Amino acid sequence: MKFLRAIQGVMRIDKIRNEKIREELEVEPIMKNIKRQQLRWFEHLVRMEEERTTKRIWEARVQQKKGKGRPRKTWNKEKEEIYKRRWVDIEKREKNGKN
């Protein structure tokens, strides 16, 4: 945001919201971009041939003792959440008549 604010010529003291700056510069939030790239990589991985090393490593399951505390969020869980959120967004658009 520091870079985008400099481009826009505003400072934090001006109290302009990040969303408004991104909207004016037509820049999407970085997390949205990262999630989109993750989905692109996963779709690429799904299309790979079964004998490719990358795909074999992805499908491998590590057998180890569970650690203490809450389980770490895996990439698979993150991907599932992204798909779930996108599906909800698509359904909302269809209900509102936006395509």
What is the residue range of 21's domain? 2-55+75-96
Reply yes or no on whether the pLDDT at 98 is more than 60: no
- 89 within domain boundaries: yes
- 69 within domain boundaries: no
pTM (two decimals):
0.54
Domain count, the chain: 1
Note the pLDDT of residue 71.
76
Copy the structure tokens of residue 77: 């869980």
Do 82 and 38 form a contact (C-beta atoms < 8 A)?
yes
Tens-place pLDDT, residues 24-70: 999 888 888 888 898 888 888 888 898 999 888 887 777 777 778 88
Of 44, 62, 64, 67, which is closest to residue 54 (Cα–Cα)? 44
- 63 within domain boundaries: no
Distance CA 87, CA 39 (A): 13
Note the pLDDT of residue 20.
92
- 35 within domain boundaries: yes
- 68 within domain boundaries: no
Note the pLDDT of residue 92.
66
